[in-house]
Amino acid sequence: MRHAIAILPLLLVGCVPSLEFDTGIDSDAIWENDWFIASDRPDDISGVQGWSVGNVVPYGELTAYNDQTFYTHQYWGRVWVFDLGALWCNPCHALADYTESTYLDYAEYDLEYLTVINQNKQGQPPSVSEINKDWVDKHCIERTPVVADDGPYTRAAWPETTLPVVLVVDEQMVIQKRYVGSTATEENIRSGIEEVLGIGHVDEANEPCGH
């Protein structure tokens, strides 16, 4: 079973402020980790970076459970899901049971999936053992990355205290679908994935964790 590392704290906000992000990508930099990395990523992705539909997902370098660096734009060229949650968030846990099964159901369409966990049950940075026991192992996550937020990166993605926040991002890193709180259901997310992929309905062929 893969392991996750502790996450730095994420501050609560009452709105969705704008933050400054690094908009450039060094195409000559060597990116290495255990997941898909685009070989033809551009030096710069055009568009306004932000967390709303129509924005380009902000570029960030986040620490993964295995101490590797995950680059948010490494999924260039593929449709992917950005899933932000916390250990205290019951709806996040319910949705996490579907992470691996959703990934596998759309594997033939090259869907990618990223999970970001920001707090433990007390609202503090979670320990490695908490992440392993209460997320990675509990939700049978083996193939998709679970990464740590470094503090300010996802702050603007999180309106007030509402979680989960789930985005469906297209091949050019543009957010096409955004689901927050009660709208972040497996049914809605799958429908959004299919729409962004431009495919018809895909049956649930893989069992969710614990079901």
pLDDT of the residue at 186: 97
Question: What are the b/e assignments for 168-188, b being 16+ CB within 10 Å?
Answer: bbbeebbbbbbbbeeebebee
The answer, yes or no, to whether the previous bond of 208 is cis (omega within 30 of 0) is: no
pLDDT of the residue at 151: 65
Residues of the chain with pLDDT under 70: 1-29, 127-128, 150-151, 159-160, 211
pLDDT of the residue at 196: 98
Q: How many CB atoms lie within 10 A of CB 152?
A: 14
